[in-house]
Structures are given as structure tokens and as C-alpha cells.
Structure 1
Amino acid sequence: MSQATLLLIEDDDSLREVMAFNLEDAGYRVDAVSRGRLGLAKYDAAVHDVVITDIRMPDIDGLAVLETLRGRDPRSVVVIMTAFGGADRALEAMRRGAFHYVEKPVNMATLLTILEKAVELRHATTRLERQASQAPQRHELIASSQRMSQLMRTVDKVAQTDATVLIRGESGTGKELVARAIHERSERAAKPFVALSCAAIPGDLLESTLFGHERGAFTGAVKSSQGKFVAANGGTLFLDEVGEMPLELQAKLLRALQEGEIEPVGGDPVEVDVRILAATHRDLDAEVQAGRFREDLFWRLNVVPIQLPPLRERPEDIPVLVRFFLRKHGRGAAISVSREVDEALLSYDWPGNVRELENVVQRMIALREGDQLGLPDLPEPHRPSVNSAPHSTSSGLPFELPEEGLDLRDLERRVIVATLEKHHGNQSAAARYLKIPRHVLMYRLEKYGIQTQ
């Protein structure tokens, strides 16, 4: 556990003591105070990595704490605690720049997962602002969803080995970022990381690009070239879009994997010590069946498979990524997003995945009128349709309130069940439809005893 320091602001003495004990037991240093103003006085940007604050307190509330901290230190990372039923205020806090929120009673496992990502964000932002170190920057995987947390645990495990990894996922999901994260956490971190897109090099040049060539080996070879394998010797070679590699070249790659030896064009065999990480957006199983990809090479590459989910299947990561990109590209400005922008981003399908989301955030920052981003700041294709709003009654609700009253908890349960049925039990799709993080939906499922397939 990284020795991060937390500032805990909670007015309930017993809860504050229990939380401080559990957080210290998890490896954090904790400064705990009982009032919002005491927290503001205690906060030190050079000391505290993350602030955890209750939203309701006797003197000033958590929103005031958040706004004061963000004004004083735009890099501050704040996690909000809210009582059951306070999700609206917590979401408002996220729109104003909070990193995340947890509901009371606090589930420590959930909080620790959020804190791990919050500390990563704080450290990543600090490194981005320094921009002075010549050492390679550690690539962080910014996410809060359960699927990405599991993926990151796999990354940490596989980094400690020399196993070949095949990273699969749609374009823009961050396959090269995962490859770099594996390299930087491995024993090869001090050695080169060399990336090559097999789709970007014409087939007749790919062999010499990979394995090198001797002078005069072919027309135009006016001087020798060492190739990517030799350039990566001792380190890691990342082969992006490996599914685009011509069949005849796949045999040479297979030999390099099996024998640890390459043969430059027109030259003699050369021994190399290189770890291979490969990535593709194609279904390589289908490519093997169609005869377009060698089965023996597939099994050599697919020792440890990592599947990167598209952004539409992990919408709970969108608010976290948006705030990371705001800090990354905002040049220190305390930029926040409106509720309408959050909802629009959550409802969009993101065919370009994380790459498209970062592009949208950069564009909004560059063209913004103020430091709170609203719907007019969204590019046209990402704005909600005028006709997408549900029909509402005179009360402003999509249904009439019954005269005899209603059971709010029963209504919430029925809405969740109906949403799950509408999306065939897909919890990520249901959470996206309800515009809540997936972990909040999971909490509701457990609370109401709702079983899913």
C-alpha cells in the first residue's frame, strides 16, 4: 500500500474513529477532524493526497468544503460521504469537481477501491504538472468500475512474469496504455519499451522494420537497420494490431518467440531477449478459423489474455475519466461540469471509447465560455436529442402521483426490476439507463434482495 495521507472530515465521533482505524489498518496515514472549517484549516496540499468529507455537518457542509478546497488547490481530490437518499447532492458534488462519493453506512471495501483510484489520480496529476523529470512517466489506468479494477489486478500480477500477453479490445479502449503499464511494473521497466503498429507499415516493409536488414539486402537498403526487436532488447516489444500481420511474416515471429532468435533480412541470426506484448481489435479466434492467422502463433501470443471492455460497458468510469482529463488538460483551472453534461456523456455510446471521450473533453476545455461546462460546450454529435426527453405530467414527473400516496422504497425496487428486465439482466446497461454508477446499483440490488441472472 502506498503511504498516502488522507484528511477525514466527519462530525460523528464514533464513525470518525472507526473509519480512521480501518483506513490506518489498510495502510493509510489519516488526519481526522470533526468539522468542515477544521478540515479546511488542516488541509495541506503538500501533505494530503485525498480528502474524505461528510456532506452534512453542523458548521459548513461538504459542498462548501469541496468548493473552498478546489478554489485553493485545483488538484485536490475529494470523496464525498452521503446518507442514504442523498445521492442527488453527492452527484451535484461530483459535478462541482468531487472525485467520487460513497453512501452511508460506508462499505469499507467500496471506499478502499475508490481511494486507491483517487490516490492514483492525485499522483498522476502531480507527475503531469512537474514535467521536469527525464524518467519515463508511469502510465496510470484511471477507472473505478469493478471490471477495470479486476483488469488492473491482472496487470499487476502478469507484470511480475515474462509471460506473453494478448490484449484485446475495440479501438480507443487503451490497449497500448495497458501494455505500457505492464512494462513499467515489470523488472524490465528500466529497459526500452518499443511499440509498433503492424497495421501502419506496408506488408513488404514490416519484416525489415521488425527484424532489421543489412545494407544492400534489397533495393533501397542503402544502410543497415537494427529493427524493432534489437531496439527492444532487454525490454518489451509491443505489437499493436498484430492481427494485420501477413501470414508469411507470422512464421518468423513465431520462431522469434520460440527460439529467442531473429534473422535480419540479408543477415545472420541474432539472439534477442525481448518480452512480447501484443494487441488486436480483431477476433483472432475467427481469424484462425478462416486461415488468416496461424493457430500456433495465436497460442504463443495468448498465454495471458486481457480483454479491455468498451467504455459503453463501464459507464461508471466516465465521470472519473472526465475529471481526470479536465485536470490533465485544464492547465490548473478549476473546471467543473454541469449535471446536464454528465447525463449526456453517460447516455452516449462512445464508439471511439476513451480516445473519443478525451477528445471531447479537450475540445470543451479549448472552446469553453466559462469554468463550468454546460450543454452548449458539448460538440453537436454528443448533445442529447431534443426529442429524447420523456413525456412528463403537470407535476414534472413521467407519471401521475396517486392520491393515496406511494411507498418510495417499493417504487425504487420496482423501477430497478423493470430496468433490469428491459436490459435482459445486463447490470452495466441498467446502471447506465438509471444514470447511476454500477456500484450504486449493486448496493441497491443487495439492499432489496433482487436476484439477477
Structure 2
Amino acid sequence: MFQKQPHILVVDDDSSLCEILINMLDQQGYRAEAVHEGRTAIEQVRSSEPDVVLIDLRLPDMSGLDLLKQLMESEHNLQAVMISGMGTIHNAVQATKIGAFDFLEKPLDTDRVLLTIKNALDRRRLKKEMSDLVESMREHYQMVGTSPEMMRIHELIRKAAETHIKVLIQGENGTGKELVARAIHNNSRRVGRPFVAVNCAAIPETLIESELFGHKKGSFTGAIADKPGRFQVADGGTIFLDEVGDMSLMTQAKVLRTLEDNTIEMVGGSEPIPVDVRVIAATNKDLQVEMEEGRFREDLFFRLNVLNIRVPPLRDRVQDIPLIVEHFISQFCNEHGVRLKKISSRAMGRLAAYSWPGNVRELKNFVEKMVILLESTEIEPGEVVTLLESHTREKVVTPRTLKLKEARDAFERDFIRSVILTANNNITRAAEMLDIPRTYLHKKIKNLGVEV
């Protein structure tokens, strides 16, 4: 595979030194060039985007530190190495604070210069890979939707990401609570650091303390070595405590202590271990009820609930369904190596009319099934109906003590509400989609008690 030749720019007013460095770098397979003034260097960086810049501390038109500062402000992944015949500790410290990768003193040692450039290139590559990974994660975990409910959530995510405050995310299963947590992390200063998700409901009560805080060797049967807990793994980053309402009161007390003094104590240990972790929690339970019934600590609730984000169920933002479906179609076609499929407006209407009790998670699973099973490049309503019938048959039906009329009214109420939301609360448009007169739709809304 073709690999880009690393580009090195030398900025020094000593023409002889520049010539020596360029010849040396050319021999090592680098593409090297030199300029003699700071302003010329700025133009050259903008036009040719070098990987590494060697900057003399003293230039004819500005100081090397001033040039470094200007370059660092505009080129975040540029690796700069300062060189000087009058190097001082103060200058080296200043250069490092501004963003220099290293500081070399004249006369330059060839081996040291080459090693420094190699290390600078490695650092640039790693930063680029990290940036690409973060961007990929953002795309994979992005929250899709332009409804008023989603715009409100995006604004809360932005505010949360700008600070270190604790966040409590509430919502039904499948609404995307973890996506909200990841969005906060990925847009905060902790991006690039660990994001550790812990499903508190999935860990047995006998193991959750060890999972969260770690354990020392010999602290219990089977503890054959020291093991760090999730809080330690998340150090410097974010820990996401999903289903926090399922924690026992004993575990809640220990989490509260960690939130209060930013330390953890391993099972079997006696020394507090400091941790720098942002805590985001989520639950599908009503914690007010849990507190009233003595199953959740009030002091922990107030510690976690500094900023509250409620994620609406999909039935409350039906207008987002077309965007979500298109997003998942593109994602799964790409993941499974399938030619990109289109979906007709009538087929999309069928999806929007379904209630999706499992919320976005259920819709995501259905779209993946649709991408894999349907061979046509354009998805039509008949295909969607067939798959939906199969999909609903697969779900467990819970018997209800409803009379036939009550069940029919409940279905009509949910169906009409879904269509109205799809039509952005435009009753005329909703009546057209339902193929009924507008006056009849108004009558149905009134008789069934449909919320609009």
C-alpha cells in the first residue's frame, strides 16, 4: 500500500544548517524543505501541511516561541521541535507549555535529531488514529433526530459536556440512555480517555462491589490476583452506571462515598485509592418512588441528579423515525457489505405507524433484519408489513383483561396518535395519510381522547 512520505519543514535563518539538515533528512527518506523567516513558515505550513516543523528559537522577524504559538493555535496535530544555540530551562519549559514536542540544543547531534523526528511522527500518527477513532465512535453512537424533544436533549448534552457535573439520565428501556452518556463523554474534555459502561442490573449482588472497586489477592475465594475495579479502569475518563436503581443499599453507600471524596477502597484493601472519574448514571425506574419505599438512598439521588436528562420514548417523537431508519439502513448496509437500500415513503409510513414499545433498540434490530432479509434495493410497504407481522408474532403477548371494544379503541388511539405525530401535528395531512375526512378524524380524536 502506498504510504505518504513524511514532510519535514526546517525554520532557521542559518542557511548552512538548513542545507545540512535537508540533506540528512533526504537520505532518511523524508521530504524536507527550509524557510528562513517566521511569516514564510506560517504560509508554508498552511499550504503544504508538514508533519513536523523544526523551529529555531531566534528568527529575523519574530521569536521562535511566537511562531510556535501561532502554529499550535491553527494546526492542532502539527509536531514542532524547537532548536537553539542558547537554550535555557526557561525557554524549554515555555516551549513545552505552548505545545512543542521537544527542545534540541545546538550543535545538533544527528542521531538525536533523527530519533526525535521519528518519535514526533509516531506521536502525530497516534493522535491521528485517536482522532479518527473518536470520530468513528461519534458517528456510530450518534443520536439521530430533529424533533423538539431531541433538540432539547442535544442542548442538555452540550451543557453537560462543557462541565464536570454529574448527570442522571432517565427513560424507558431502549430509548438510548447510553447514547446520551457517550455523547456527553465524546464532546467533553475527557474524550480520548476511557468510557466504561457498567450494567448494575446484570452483575450479581455478591460480585458488584468487586466489579466496581476491584479486589486484593486473597480477599475472597477465587481472588488469585489483584484486580482493578471499573472505577480504576475509568480513571481520567467517564464511568456510566446503567440501571443504577437496581443497586443494593450497601453498594449505594459505597458509591456515595466515592462520589464524596473521589477515592475507592478495593475489596480486601485498607488504603483509599484516588480516582479522577466523571460519573453519569441512568435508570428506567422512578427513583422518587424507589426513595419513598426505601430502596434508593436520597443522599445518593441528590449527588447523581445534578443535571437530569429525560429521554423520551420513540412514540413521543415519531417524526424522528424516518431519520433514524435512514441512519440504520446506511449503517447496516455498510456493516454487512450490502448495496445501499432505499425505502419508499409508504413503507416508511408503515414503520412510523407502529408503536415500537422497545423504542429505538427495537427499531434498530428490525431495520437490521430488514436490510439482511429483503433482497430488493427499494423497500416497499408490502415487505415491511410482512416483516412487521413476523416481528410482532415473535414477541411475547401478555394477556390483558380488556373487552374487544376497549382493545380496539386502544389500538385506534395509539395508531391515530402515531400518524398525527408523523404528520408533525398537521391534522389535514394526518387525515390524508389515514384516507379519512378531516372532520371524521377530529371526531375520532375527541371520542378516543387522543393527545395532540
Matches within 5 A, 1:13-24: none
Aligned residue for 1:438?
424
Matches within 5 A, 1:11-410: 133-135=132-134, 137-138=137-138, 139-267=141-269, 268-331=271-334, 333-378=339-384, 380=386, 382-383=388-389
Task: Give the 3-state SS of the residue equivalent to 1:305 in structure 2.
Answer: strand
Number of paired residues? 279
Q: Find the aligned partners of 1:131 and 1:367 in 2 and give their Cα distance.
A: 35
Q: Find the aligned partners of 2:262 and 2:421 in 1 and give their Cα distance.
A: 50
Q: CA deviation at 1:364?
A: 0.9
Counterpart amino acid of residue 183 in structure 2? A
Aligned in 2, Cα 1:442/1:144: closer, same or farther, shift over 3 Å? farther
Q: Find the aligned partners of 2:390 and 2:308 in 1 and give their Cα distance.
A: 36
Q: CA deviation at 1:329?
A: 1.0
Q: What do residues 39-68 of structure 1 show as CA deviations (whole Å, max 9, x unaligned)? A: xxxxxxxxxxxxxxxxxxxxxxxxxxxxxx
Q: Find the aligned partners of 2:179 and 2:188 in 1 and give their Cα distance.
A: 14
> Is the 2:185–2:191 Cα contact (8 Å) retained in structure 1?
yes
Task: Give the 3-state SS of the residue equivalent to 2:227 in structure 1.
Answer: coil
Task: Give the 3-state SS of the residue equivalent to 1:137 in structure 2.
Answer: helix
Q: CA deviation at 1:240?
A: 0.5
Counterpart amino acid of residue 176 in structure 2? G
Q: Find the aligned partners of 1:318 and 1:131 in 2 and give their Cα distance.
A: 32
What is the TM-score normalised by the length of structure 2? 0.57
Aligned in 2, Cα 1:151/1:437: closer, same or farther, shift over 3 Å? farther
Over the residues paired in the alignment, what is the CA RMSD in angstroms? 3.0
Q: Find the aligned partners of 2:161 and 2:177 in 1 and give their Cα distance.
A: 15
Aligned residue for 1:411?
none
Task: Give the 3-state SS of the residue equivalent to 1:343 in structure 2.
Answer: helix
> Is the 1:360–1:378 Cα contact (8 Å) retained in structure 2?
no
Aligned in 2, Cα 1:137/1:250: closer, same or farther, shift over 3 Å? same
Q: CA deviation at 1:441?
A: 6.5
Q: CA deviation at 1:141?
A: 1.1
Aligned in 2, Cα 1:443/1:434: closer, same or farther, shift over 3 Å? closer
Aligned in 2, Cα 1:304/1:440: closer, same or farther, shift over 3 Å? same
Q: Find the aligned partners of 2:161 and 2:429 in 1 and give their Cα distance.
A: 32
Q: Find the aligned partners of 1:345 and 1:336 in 2 and give their Cα distance.
A: 14
Q: What do residues 16-48 of structure 1 show as CA deviations (whole Å, max 9, x unaligned)? A: xxxxxxxxxxxxxxxxxxxxxxxxxxxxxxxxx
Aligned in 2, Cα 1:171/1:248: closer, same or farther, shift over 3 Å? same
Q: Find the aligned partners of 1:133 and 1:175 in 2 and give their Cα distance.
A: 24
Aligned in 2, Cα 1:374/1:297: closer, same or farther, shift over 3 Å? same
> Is the 1:140–1:181 Cα contact (8 Å) retained in structure 2?
yes
What is the TM-score normalised by the length of structure 1? 0.57
Q: Find the aligned partners of 2:131 and 2:262 in 1 and give their Cα distance.
A: 37
Q: Find the aligned partners of 2:331 and 2:242 in 1 and give their Cα distance.
A: 25
> Is the 2:214–2:229 Cα contact (8 Å) retained in structure 1?
yes
Q: CA deviation at 1:285?
A: 0.8
Aligned in 2, Cα 1:379/1:224: closer, same or farther, shift over 3 Å? farther
Q: Find the aligned partners of 2:201 and 2:343 in 1 and give their Cα distance.
A: 37
Aligned in 2, Cα 1:162/1:350: closer, same or farther, shift over 3 Å? same
Q: What do residues 352-381 of structure 1 show as CA deviations (whole Å, max 9, x unaligned)? A: 111111111111111113111123433757
Greater helix content: 2
> Is the 1:343–1:435 Cα contact (8 Å) retained in structure 2?
no
Q: CA deviation at 1:431?
A: 6.0
> Is the 1:213–1:265 Cα contact (8 Å) retained in structure 2?
yes
Q: CA deviation at 1:296?
A: 0.6
> Is the 1:315–1:437 Cα contact (8 Å) retained in structure 2?
no
Instruction: Return the structure number with greater relative CO, CA threshold 8 A, min gap 6.
Output: 1
Structure (1 or 2) with the larger CA radius of gyration: 2
Aligned in 2, Cα 1:441/1:325: closer, same or farther, shift over 3 Å? farther
Aligned in 2, Cα 1:369/1:429: closer, same or farther, shift over 3 Å? closer
Q: Find the aligned partners of 1:308 and 1:378 in 2 and give their Cα distance.
A: 27
Aligned in 2, Cα 1:132/1:383: closer, same or farther, shift over 3 Å? farther
Larger displacement relative to structure 2 (136-145 or 232-241): 136-145
> Is the 1:213–1:226 Cα contact (8 Å) retained in structure 2?
yes
Q: CA deviation at 1:429?
A: 8.2
Counterpart amino acid of residue 307 in structure 1? R
